[in-house]
Every structure is written in structure tokens, then in C-alpha cells.
Structure 1
Amino acid sequence: MTDKSLCNERFFNKFYTTHIQAASNFAYYKSGDKSTSLDLAQEGFIRVWENCTTIDILKAKSYLFTVINNLFLNKVKHQKVVFAYAKSSPYLDVDNQNPEYLLEEEEFKERLKKAIEGLTEGERVVFLMHRIDGKKYREIASTLEISQKAVEKRMSAALKKLRTKIQGI
């Protein structure tokens, strides 16, 4: 085994530290949940380690992001059950805030969430990476392995859709 093999513990640790933040962010943009995103990222690295002998080192990052995406898609079915349960549970006002304010806040959050959910996956990921993580278009292009022009196009489409749906909020 060479020093530049994913099966080499030192090299794998370097691969991990180099990519953990981007992998966690990508998982967060997919799932929208910090705890789930960390689980997805960690599971992605576990899969890379388990398959270290079969992964081309030049494609390891792409493999990692593909694994995270697939893990996310597998969790979607489970999340639907969780959301259905949460929706049926009564809301508890722990802050004793004005009910009208709480209702408006919940309506805003729901409209914003639906507007972001209404974006295509590509638009949503680019939008969140740029607006939440503060990444530049070229960084996003590199992470997603697409052209910078594609990032610009997705961002433009996302902003256009969000402006239309959130107008009046």
C-alpha cells in the first residue's frame, strides 16, 4: 500500500480533515438539520474507509459526496414519518408569547420553508451554500464539480423563484 492510499490511516485522516467541513455543509444543505447532517457526513466517511481499496483516490471526494447524497435520499422516507408525527402533535407555547405573533412567525417560517423546498435540488444546494455558508461561486462549482456558469444559472433561477414566492411577506 502506498502512502497516498485511502487505506493508509494518516492519508485518510488528512482526507477527513480536508473535507469534513464541506461534507457536513453539503449534508446540511440537503437535510436542513445539523444533527442529521453530521450523521450523514460521518457515515459518508465510514463508507469511504470501508471501501478504501476500491475507490480511485482522484474520485474520493466525488464518491464521498455521492454517498452523502444517497444516504440523504434514504433518510427522506423516514423524515416523512417524523414530519407527519410532528404535524399531528399539539404546539406547546413555552415562552408565553403573544399567540398572534407566534402564528405569524410560524406562517412566515412555513412560507419560507416551502419557497426553499420549491426550488430544484441543484438550485437549493447552490442557494444555501452561497447564502448560508458564504461560499463564492467558484468554490461551489468546485465542490459540486460543475461549471461556475452552471452555479450562476442555478443561483439566478433560485433567486427569481424565491422573489416570486416570498413577495408580500
Structure 2
Amino acid sequence: MTKELPENVCKEETFKSLYDSYATELHNYLYYKYGEKCSPNDTTQEAFIKLWENCKKVVSSKARAFLYKVANNSVLNDIKHHKVVLRYRLDKPSEVTNEDPEYLMRQEQYFKKYQQALAKLTEEQRVAFLLNKVEAKKHKEIAELLGVTRKVVEYRIYSAFNVLKEELDEFHI
């Protein structure tokens, strides 16, 4: 007496049979439980797509439970996301600042001048400087990335500082 293996849902006929049996039922369940806002049509389709993607793992006797669980979790995740969005809208920082308009203007001027100063650096200086200051990489890491010695990296960063200091002298940094 051989034990029959449960049939998975990868066979097209089996999947179609499951779809015909449960699609309307799942749609109605979602509609009655969560309303039209949860897009029961889309959620039902997504649940069946997940079932197809996991067809080798799901046996046909467990397919209904799988579909309901996937659809329910999808709706709950959407609701959770919607709550986060609503909370963000309520906690949105105000666009008004207490900074002096002159300060804001100077800040903008500084940023433009800084961009121009970065453009004046050699490519080697700029890469080493930005890797160190923007990406917070250590001199040793930069040396390994660029295939140079640590001393070369230190020189490039030091010389970049000198150029920036000279270019941004009017800002008293």
C-alpha cells in the first residue's frame, strides 16, 4: 500500500479549479471585512499570484487557507502603511524656519561656492576627499579602493582641504 503524495497546485488544471472555486469567495470576504478601500479585486489577484509563485510549496488541500492568509496579510499591511502615511502628514515639519533671511542667503551662497570649489579640485583629490568626508571612509579603506598607498590618500585629502580653505576664505571657516 503506497501513500499518495498530496497534489501541489503547479498543474494548470488544479490552479484553474482553485481559482474558479475560491476567487469570488475570497473577493467577497475581503469586501465584507474591509470594504472597497482595500481593493478586493486587486488583493484577490495578488493572492492568487502568490499562490502561483509558491505552487510547489502549497498542496491543494491547504490552498484555501494560504489564499486567505496572504490576502488578509496584504490588506493589513496596506492599512498599516496608510496609518504611517497619515501620521507623517500630521507630524510633517513646518516649512517655516526661524532663520534670518540673510543667514539663508549666505547659506545658499556658501553652497554654490562650495560646489565651485569642489569642481576646482583634481579628480583624485575630489574622490579621496568625498570618500572620506561624505561616505566616512577611513584612509586605509580609501587606499584599498583606489589602489594607492595610505600616504597618497592623506596627501590628496590634505591638498583638497587647502584648496577648499583658500576658495572659501571669505566665509571664515
Q: Do they superpose with TM above 0.5?
A: no
TM-score tier (shorter): 0.3 to 0.5
Give the number of the structure whose alpha-carbon radius of gyration is greater. Answer: 2
Instruction: State the TM-score, normalizing by the size of structure 1.
Output: 0.43
Instruction: State the TM-score, normalizing by the size of structure 2.
Output: 0.42
